[in-house]
C-alpha cells in the first residue's frame, strides 16, 4: 500500500513537472526529462534482455536438456558464479534444443557492443548490415504486395453495376466508386514528376492535389483527436491521484510547484541576468 | 577496408536476397532458416542494438558529469534513473514468488512499479504535451491562403466535429443556416453590393425555414448537411483516394529502396 | 464594429500560454461535469462489431497489443471492450505483443476482464504469449512457426504445457486477428505479412493519428473495419453496452474539438481583417 501511495506522488510529480514546460523551461521539467531518459534506457535494456537474450540466445547455447560436465558447460558454470539468475544451475530451461549456430548472432551482438569504443566503432556495421538486409528483404515483398498490388485490387471497383444506386452518401454507389477511382488515379499522377504539370496534365494533377488536401485535412483532424485523447488520459490519472486514498498527491504537488515557479518568476523579474535554465 | 566495407555490403546482399526469395522458395532448409532462425537472429541483434543505445547514453551522461559541462547536474538524474531501472531489472525483484525472467512482466515487482509510476506517466505526459502545441499552432498558423488550404481546413473541421458526439447533436438545418451566412459574406466580398447580399441571405433563410418547418426539423436530414454523415463520406471516399495514392507511392518507393540496399547501390548504413 | 475587429486582432497576438490554459480548462471541466452526449457508432466501428459477433462459437482469436502508456487512453478501452465481447461470446483468446510495454497493459486487461469480470481460467480460456522483439520478423515468425518463436508464455510456462495451445502451431490456425495498434510495428505489418498472405480475417483498432494510414486497407477489404481512436473505443463500448474510459472522455473530447475549431475560425477572421486593412492602406 505504501508503494502505491508513494508511487502516486512520484507519478503526480513527474506528470506535473513535464506539464510545467508549458509555462516555461524550468528545473522541474529538466529533472523529469532526464529521469525519463535514464529510466527508459534501463527499462528497455532489462526488458529486451530477459525476453529475448536470456531465453532465446543463451537458452539455445546452453539449454538444460544438453547439460554436461564438458568445457562448454564449464564456461556456463563460470558465468553462473557471477549471476545465478541469468545462468541458473543445470542450464537454461526454455524449451529449446542446442543450436551452436547462434554463436554467430552472439558474436555480431558483442561486436555491436564493442563499437562503444571509438577505435572499434566499425564493429557495429556487421550487425547493422544483417538487420538492414533482413528488413530490406522482408519489406520489398510486404510493401509491394499489400501497399501496391493490394491497393490496385481495391481500386478496381464496379462503375457499371446496375444494382448500385447512382448516388448514396454512406453506401456503395456509382458516384462514390468514381470518386475513389478518379481520386486515386489523379493523386498518383500528381507524384509523376517526369512530365511537367502543365496543360491538360496540369489540370488533372490539380484535381489530384485537391484529393490529397482533403486527405491531409482528415489526417489533421485525426491528429488533433489523438492528441486531445492523450491529454484526457493524463488528466484522468491526475484526478485519480488527487483522491484521499493518495493523500491528495496531485493537489499538493501542483500547489508546491506553482508556489516555487511563481516565487522564481517574481525574483527573476528584478534580476535580468538570472540564468533561467 | 574489406572488414569495414565489403563484408557489410556482402552481408546485406546475401541476407537480403535470401529473405526476399525466401517468400518464393519451398526448399525446406532455406525456408526453415529464413522463416525461423534468420528471424530469431534479427530479434537478437535488435536487442543488442537496444543495449548499445542504453550504454551509449550512459557513456554520454557520465562524460557530461565528469567534464562538468552545462547542465551536468541534471545528468546525475539520468544516471540514477538508469541504474535504478537496472537494479530492478537484474538485482532486486521485490516479489520473491516470481522467477527471474518473468519478473519483468509480473505483478508486485519493483520493475512493474517503475513501469506504472515512472515510465508510463513520463511517456504518456510527453505525448500529451502535443495537444497544447497543436491547439496553439492551429490558432496562430492555420490560415486560409488559397483554395487548397481551404479544402484542408474544411475537411479537418468536418472530421473533428463530425467524429465526436457533439457533431451528432448539431442539426443539419443549423449547418444550412451557417452556409447561407458564409455565402452572404462571400457574395458581399465578391460583388460588394449590399442589395445582392441582403436578397441572398433573406431568400436563403426563408427557404430553409419553410422547408424545415414543413418537414418537422429532422436532426439528420438532409443527410449531406448532417456532420456525422458528411464526415463519414469524406472519411471513406475522397480521403481514402488521397491516402491510397500516397500509400501506393510510398510502397513503390520502399520497394525500390529495398532493392537498392540489396544490390549494394545504397550504402548509408555504413556512412556512405 | 471597429472595437470588435480591434479586439479580434489583439487576441491574435495573445501569449500562447493563455491558449494552453483554455485547452486545459475545456478538457478538465467536462471530466468533472459530464454533458452526457449520446454516442452513435460509425459504419467502420459497426463493421468491427459485426465481424467479431459473427465468429463461430469457440473461435481461436489472436489479439495483438502493440501500444504503450503514451497511447493507452485511446487503445486500452478498445482492448477491454473487444475482450469483453470475445469472452461474452465464449471464444478462446490468445494475446501477443509486438511492443514490450504492450505486455504489461495486455496483462492488466486480461486480469481485469478475463479473470475478474468473467472468472475465466488462464491457460484454458485465455493466454498471454507475451512480447518478442523483432517487429515484422515476429509477425513472420508467428505465420511460419509460432512454437519456435514462443517456447514459453509471458509467465514462463512452456507452451507445450498450456492446454489451449494444442493444435495452434502457426497463424493460419487462428480464426481471427484483432490488432490494437499505435504505430510501428502494428496493423500494417499484420496486414502485409500475416492477413494478406494467409487470408485470415482481421480487424483493428488504432490511434487517431494512424487511422488514415490504415483506411486504404479497410476500404480494400484487407481489414474488416477499424476502431478509430478514443471515439472509436467509445462507440464500441456503446455497442457492447459497457461504458468505460472511452465514453467518459468523449464529452471532454467534444468540447475540446469545438474550442480548437473556434480558435481556427477566430485566427482566420483576424487574418482576413488584417489583410483587408493592409489592402485598404
Q: Does position B271 have pLDDT exceeding 80, yes or no?
A: no
Cα–Cα distance for residue pair B196/C186, rounded to 1 Å: 56
Indicate whether B97 belongs to any domain: no
Cα–Cα distance for residue pair B56/A113, rounded to 1 Å: 9
Between the alpha carbon of residue C112 and those of residues B102, C58, C77, C86, C145, the distances in Å are 20, 21, 12, 14, 30
Q: Does position C12 have pLDDT exceeding 80, yes or no?
A: no
Mean pLDDT of B36-59: 88
Q: Would the CA dihedral through C151, C154, C159, C165 be positive or negative? A: negative
Residue pair C106/C79 in contact (Cβ under 8 Å)? The answer is yes
* Beta carbon pairs, B and C, within 8 Å: 171
Interface probe for A, chosen from B10, B125, B158, B266 (most Cβ of A below 10 Å), is: B125
Between the alpha carbon of residue A36 and those of residues A115, A231, B79, B133, the distances in Å are 25, 18, 11, 21
Indicate whether B131 belongs to any domain: no
pLDDT at B74: 95
Q: What's the pLDDT band for B168 if we cut at 50, 70, 90?
A: confident
What rounded mean pLDDT belongs to chain A?
88
Which pLDDT tens digit goes with each residue over C233-274? 999 999 999 998 889 899 999 999 999 999 999 889 888 888
What rounded mean pLDDT belongs to chain C?
90
What is the number of domains present in chain B? 2
Which chain B residues are Cβ-neighbours of C257 within 8 angstroms?
A: 160-161, 164, 166
- Name the more confident of A12 and A51: A12
Q: Do B251 and A151 touch (CB under 8 A)?
A: yes
Cα–Cα distance for residue pair C142/A155, rounded to 1 Å: 30
Indicate whether B134 belongs to any domain: no
pLDDT at A274: 47
pLDDT at A276: 42
All three cell numbers of C13: 497576438
pLDDT at A205: 93
Q: Does position A273 have pLDDT exceeding 60, yes or no?
A: no
The 3-state DSSP composition of chain B as helix, strand, coil percent (nearest 5) reads: 80, 0, 20
pLDDT at A174: 86
Percent of chain C whose predicted confidence (pLDDT) is above 70: 100
Indicate whether B133 belongs to any domain: no
Which chain B residues are Cβ-neighbours of C101 within 8 angstroms?
A: 115, 119-120, 123
pLDDT at A270: 56
Q: Does position A151 have pLDDT exceeding 80, yes or no?
A: yes
Mean pLDDT of A33-56: 92
pLDDT at A271: 54
Indicate whether B105 belongs to any domain: no
Residue B174 belongs to domain spanning: 143-248
- Name the more confident of A270 and C44: C44
pLDDT at A257: 94
Q: Which of A152, A170, A227 sits opposite B130 (nearest CB)?
A: A227
Indicate whether B30 belongs to any domain: yes
Q: What's the pLDDT band for A277 if we cut at 50, 70, 90?
A: very low
Indicate whether B40 belongs to any domain: yes
Q: Does position A275 have pLDDT exceeding 70, yes or no?
A: no
Percent of chain C whose predicted confidence (pLDDT) is above 90: 60
Percent of chain B whose predicted confidence (pLDDT) is above 90: 49
Q: How distant is the Cα of B23 from the closest Cα of chain C, in angstroms?
A: 10
CATH pick for C43-249 out of 3.10.20, 2.60.40, 3.40.50, 3.30.410: 3.40.50
Q: Does position B193 have pLDDT exceeding 60, yes or no?
A: yes
pLDDT at A194: 85
Amino acid at each position: 500500500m505504501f508503494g502505491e501511495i508513494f508511487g502516486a506522488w512520484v507519478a503526480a510529480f513527474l506528470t506535473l513537472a513535464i506539464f510545467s514546460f508549458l509555462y516555461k523551461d524550468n528545473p522541474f521539467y529538466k529533472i523529469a526529462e532526464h529521469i525519463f531518459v535514464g529510466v527508459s534506457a534501463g527499462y528497455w535494456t532489462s526488458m529486451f534482455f530477459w525476453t529475448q537474450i536470456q531465453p532465446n540466445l543463451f537458452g539455445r547455447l546452453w539449454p538444460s536438456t544438453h547439460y554436461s560436465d564438458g568445457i562448454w558447460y564449464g564456461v556456463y558454470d563460470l558465468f553462473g558464479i557471477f549471476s545465478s539468475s541469468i545462468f541458473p544451475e543445470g542450464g537454461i530451461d526454455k524449451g529449446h534444443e542446442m543450436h551452436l549456430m547462434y554463436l554467430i548472432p552472439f558474436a555480431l551482438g558483442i561486436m555491436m557492443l564493442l563499437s562503444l569504443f571509438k577505435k572499434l566503432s566499425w564493429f557495429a556495421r556487421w550487425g547493422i548490415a544483417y538487420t538492414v538486409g533482413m528488413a530490406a528483404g522482408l519489406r520489398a515483398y510486404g510493401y509491394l504486395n499489400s501497399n501496391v498490388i493490394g491497393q490496385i485490387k481495391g481500386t478496381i471497383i464496379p462503375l457499371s453495376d446496375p444494382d448500385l444506386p447512382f448516388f448514396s452518401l454512406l453506401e456503395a454507389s456509382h458516384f462514390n466508386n468514381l470518386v475513389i477511382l478518379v481520386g486515386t488515379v489523379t493523386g498518383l499522377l500528381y507524384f509523376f514528376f517526369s512530365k511537367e504539370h502543365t496543360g491538360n496534365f496540369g489540370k488533372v494533377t490539380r484535381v489530384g492535389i485537391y484529393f490529397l488536401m482533403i486527405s491531409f485535412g482528415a489526417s489533421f483532424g485525426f491528429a488533433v483527436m489523438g492528441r486531445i485523447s492523450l491529454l484526457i488520459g493524463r488528466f484522468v490519472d491526475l484526478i485519480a491521484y488527487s483522491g484521499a486514498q493518495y493523500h491528495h498527491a496531485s493537489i499538493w504537488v501542483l500547489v508546491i510547484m506553482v508556489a516555487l515557479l511563481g516565487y522564481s518568476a517574481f525574483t527573476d523579474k528584478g534580476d535580468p541576468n538570472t540564468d533561467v535554465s | 577496408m574489406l572488414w569495414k566495407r565489403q563484408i557489410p555490403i556482402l552481408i546485406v546482399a546475401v541476407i537480403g536476397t535470401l529473405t526476399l526469395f525466401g517468400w518464393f522458395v519451398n526448399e525446406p532448409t532455406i525456408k526453415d532458416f529464413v522463416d525461423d532462425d534468420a528471424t530469431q537472429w534479427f530479434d537478437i541483434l535488435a536487442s543488442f542494438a537496444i543495449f548499445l543505445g542504453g550504454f551509449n547514453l550512459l557513456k554520454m551522461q557520465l562524460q557530461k558529469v565528469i567534464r562538468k559541462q552545462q547542465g551536468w547536474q541534471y545528468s546525475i538524474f539520468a544516471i540514477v534513473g538508469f541504474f535504478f531501472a537496472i537494479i530492478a531489472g537484474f538485482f532486486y525483484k521485490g516479489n520473491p514468488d516470481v522467477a527471474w525472467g518473468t519478473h519483468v512482466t509480473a505483478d508486485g515487482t519493483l520493475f512493474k512499479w517503475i513501469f506504472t509510476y515512472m515510465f508510463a506517466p513520463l511517456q504518456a505526459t510527453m505525448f500529451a504535451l502535443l495537444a497544447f502545441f497543436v491547439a496553439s499552432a492551429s490558432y496562430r498558423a492555420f490560415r486560409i491562403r488559397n483554395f487548397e488550404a481551404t479544402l484542408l481546413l474544411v475537411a479537418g473541421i468536418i472530421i473533428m466535429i463530425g467524429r465526436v458526439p457533439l457533431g451528432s447533436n448539431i442539426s443539419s438545418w443549423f449547418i444550412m443556416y451557417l452556409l447561407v451566412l458564409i455565402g452572404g459574406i462571400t457574395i458581399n466580398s465578391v460583388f460588394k453590393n449590399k442589395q445582392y447580399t441582403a436578397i441572398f441571405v433573406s431568400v436563403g433563410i426563408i427557404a430553409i425555414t419553410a422547408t424545415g418547418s414543413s418537414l418537422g426539423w429532422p436532426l439528420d436530414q438532409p443527410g449531406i448537411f448532417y456532420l456525422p454523415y458528411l464526415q463519414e463520406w469524406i472519411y471513406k471516399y475522397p480521403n481514402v483516394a488521397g491516402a491510397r495514392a500516397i500509400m501506393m507511392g510510398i510502397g513503390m518507393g520502399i520497394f525500390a529502396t529495398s532493392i537498392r540496399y540489396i544490390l549494394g547501390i545504397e550504402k548509408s548504413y555504413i556512412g556512405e | 464594429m471597429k472595437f470588435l475587429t480591434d479586439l479580434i486582432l489583439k487576441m491574435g497576438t495573445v501569449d500562447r500560454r493563455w491558449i494552453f490554459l483554455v485547452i486545459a480548462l475545456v478538457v478538465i471541466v467536462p471530466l468533472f461535469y459530464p454533458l452526457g452526449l449520446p454516442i452513435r457508432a460509425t459504419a467502420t466501428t459497426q463493421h468491427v462489431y459485426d465481424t467479431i459477433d459473427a465468429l463461430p462459437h469457440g473461435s481461436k482469436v489472436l489479439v495483438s497489443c502493440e501500444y504503450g502508456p503514451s497511447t493507452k487512453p485511446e487503445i486500452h478501452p478498445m482492448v477491454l471492450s473487444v475482450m469483453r465481447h470475445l469472452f461474452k461470446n465464449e471464444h478462446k483468446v490468445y494475446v501477443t505483443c509486438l511492443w514490450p510495454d504492450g505486455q504489461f497493459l495486455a496483462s492488466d486487461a486480461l486480469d481485469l476482464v478475463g479473470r475478474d469480470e468473467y472468472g475465466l481460467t488462464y491457460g484454458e480460456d485465455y493466454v498471454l504469449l507475451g512480447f518478442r522483439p523483432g517487429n515484422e520478423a515476429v509477425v513472420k515468425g508467428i505465420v511460419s512457426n509460432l512454437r519456435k518463436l514462443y517456447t514459453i508464455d509471458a509467465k514462463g510456462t512452456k507452451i507445450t504445457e498450456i492446454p489451449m495451445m494444442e493444435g495452434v502451431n502457426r497463424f493460419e490456425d487462428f480464426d481471427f486477428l484483432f490488432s490494437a495498434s499505435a504505430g510501428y510495428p502494428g496493423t500494417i505489418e499484420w496486414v502485409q505479412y500475416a492477413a494478406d498472405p494467409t487470408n485470415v480475417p482481421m480487424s483493428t483498432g488504432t490511434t487517431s493519428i494512424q487511422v488514415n494510414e490504415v483506411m486504404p486497407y479497410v476500404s480494400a477489404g484487407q481489414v474488416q473495419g477499424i476502431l478509430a481512436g478514443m471515439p472509436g473505443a467509445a462507440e464500441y463500448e456503446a455497442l457492447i453496452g459497457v461504458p468505460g474510459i472511452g465514453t467518459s472522455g468523449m464529452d471532454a473530447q467534444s468540447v475540446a474539438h469545438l474550442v480548437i475549431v473556434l480558435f481556427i475560425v477566430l485566427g482566420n477572421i483576424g487574418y482576413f481583417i488584417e489583410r483587408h486593412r493592409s489592402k485598404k492602406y
